[in-house]
Amino acid sequence: MKNIRNFCIIAHIDHGKSTLADRMLEFTKSVPQREMENQVLDDMDLERERGITIKSHAIQMEYEYDGEKYYLNLIDTPGHVDFSYEVSRSIAACEGALLVVDSTQGIQAQTISNLYQALDNDLEIIPVLNKIDLQNSMVEEVSDQIIDLIGCNKEDIVLASAKTGEGVDQILRKIVENIPQPKGDENAPLQALIFDSVFNAYRGVISYFRVFNGTIKTNDKIKFMNTQREYTADEIGILKYDLSPCKTLSVGDVGYIISSIKTSTEVKVGDTITSVANPCTEAIQGFQEVKPMVYAGVYPQDAADYEELRSSIEKLQLNDASLTFVPESSLALGFGFRCGFLGLLHMEIIQERLEREFNIDVITTVPNVNYKVYTTKGECLEVYNPSGLPDPSSIEHIEEPYILASIITKAEYIGGILKLCIDKRGILKNQTYISSDRAEIVFELPLGEVVFDFYDKLKSISKGYASFDYHPFDYKHSKLVKLEILLNGDAVDALSTLIYADNAYPFGRRMCEKLKELIPRQQYDIAIQAAIGSKIIARETVKAVRKDVTAKCYGGDITRKRKLLEKQKEGKKRMRQVGNVEVPQSAFLAVLKLD
């Protein structure tokens, strides 16, 4: 036990976590040379294409120090704000953390957010200044920022370059020297925390766990405390580059367990494993229930794929515990699911994973957040979908969720960012200068305004420099209306939104204009209308595709032409009564990119 070190790497997105992990694996020869590639822990194509970590990964390295062999368990973490839940689970399974800061960019919003999470869990922090080989690195300036942030000494900061491998040996020595060994009692009842799980088509559910107390052996009878289900540990082992089976795992070990679990709903991430013969009295603390921030409907393009979509989402949920879903139906789209996501990037990633990993084409509706609706009878309803809104006459008032957003930016972009936040109905709470040219701005913002295009606009205003982090704050009274889109008089429930009253008119008008471009022309006119209740606030018409029926009338009396046109008009009218308008998937997504 004294030779085990469990640690994670925390950093802002793009500060070099995955590259640093690559160098450490190379240095300790944990990955066979021919298997070595960039971002070796990011095993999804999607992660490599986008250059981001989506899933946390765990791997064990062996490192020799002063003639003794040490086992270093790295539990990798994602950096993007939408995956902060993954970070919280990784932190719960560790005793220490490497705080990686990019020496060309300095401290960013996500760095601070993840650091506070690690400090709340009493982790030992090792500061690492990365990318020192670049010409524009500001070693002195960023070192001062780190010292201000965590109160360490200058000599505690490790200067490293994940690209060239400089400083990696020093980082590994610091991990052995500074991070405490795991605490726990080998003879106590078994107590282990599940921090991740994956589904394997041949072996069922594989759960990754960290042992806090006791010992687990192959073929032990075990119990999951949350679900109260009992299993046999068919295979346990250590997470090397591949799964490496072994007979026993003890306090501080990070490993995997296969116990022929076939259904993904039986495993809850954050659950505690204990033994049936000698169970522990209480579950491990520190696990949070995840709270989705954004909701959207996910429907199969072909109604026959409904059951397949259900099993695919269940398997994804096993691998990504922050995804939640409940069945729902829509008049326009048939049967599907209302899914909860941590943010827009999370929603985009899930949609892409469904298409790539499970070959299912899905339609995603306009994302929205959950509102609290107070009725005149004094009831409080949680509404996730505008179609679930009660009759307007019975609504007392509506409250919408607010977030506390922290934005770190260069001083020259502050004006544009303040204007953006105020346009989004934000309230400025605080503005502090971290250094002479970098400031932290704290805003209270309505979540409904942030889910659409806030992040993209922030990046374009700040030329990519501003970093953004947020957490849920409170619900506040708000003046919201339900905006519906009608096609030929029929409401398309998948396009309806709850929106702030003052923004409804311009939004409705832009939406109608956008739909006019996207909906293909039919044999008859299509009226696209935006309505609040029974009041139409905007209208566009998609003109019919017409055959020139008067082409054969050359000269003669005008009534001959008129008769033919009237006959065509009647036919179009009849066709419109039986025809239905197909709304393409691009129309649902276009709402996100209205600007």
Confidence of residue 532 (pLDDT cuts 50, 70, 90): confident
Q: How does pLDDT run across 388-417, given as a tens digit for each residue?
A: 777 777 888 888 888 888 888 878 888 888
Confidence of residue 436 (pLDDT cuts 50, 70, 90): confident
pLDDT at 321: 65
Q: What are phi and psi of 275, to 5 degrees?
A: -95, 150
pLDDT at 78: 63
Q: How does pLDDT run across 165-216, given as a tens digit for each residue?
A: 787 888 888 888 888 887 877 788 888 887 777 777 777 778 888 888 888 8
Confidence of residue 318 (pLDDT cuts 50, 70, 90): low
Say how many C-beta atoms besides its own lie within 10 A of residue 277's C-beta. 11
Q: How does pLDDT run across 483-521, given as a tens digit for each residue?
A: 888 888 777 777 777 888 888 888 888 888 888 888 888
Q: How does pLDDT run across 55-95, given as a tens digit for each residue?
A: 556 777 888 877 788 888 887 666 555 566 666 767 777 78
Tell me the pTM.
0.66
pLDDT over 70, % of the chain: 85
Q: What is the mean pLDDT of residues 218-245?
A: 79
Q: What is the mean pLDDT of residues 110-127?
A: 78
More confident residue, 403 or 467: 403
CB-based contact 298:336 (threshold 8 Å): yes
Q: What is the mean pLDDT of residues 33-50?
A: 55
Confidence of residue 576 (pLDDT cuts 50, 70, 90): low
**What does the H/E/C string look like for 24-42?**
HHHHCCCCCHHHCCCCCCC
pLDDT at 75: 77
CA 273 to chain centre: 27
pLDDT at 497: 79
Which tokens in the block code for residue 19? 């590259």
Distance CA 252, CA 6 (A): 8
**What does the H/E/C string look like for 514-525?**
HHHHHCCCCCCC
Mean pLDDT of the chain: 78
Sheet holding 204-213, edge to edge: 229-232, 221-224, 272-275, 191-200, 204-213, 254-258, 235-239, 243-246
Q: How large is the angle between the packed helices 454-461 and 414-423, nearest 10 degrees?
A: 160
pLDDT at 38: 56
Q: What is the mean pLDDT of residues 38-45?
A: 53
Q: What is the mean pLDDT of residues 38-43?
A: 52
pLDDT at 449: 79
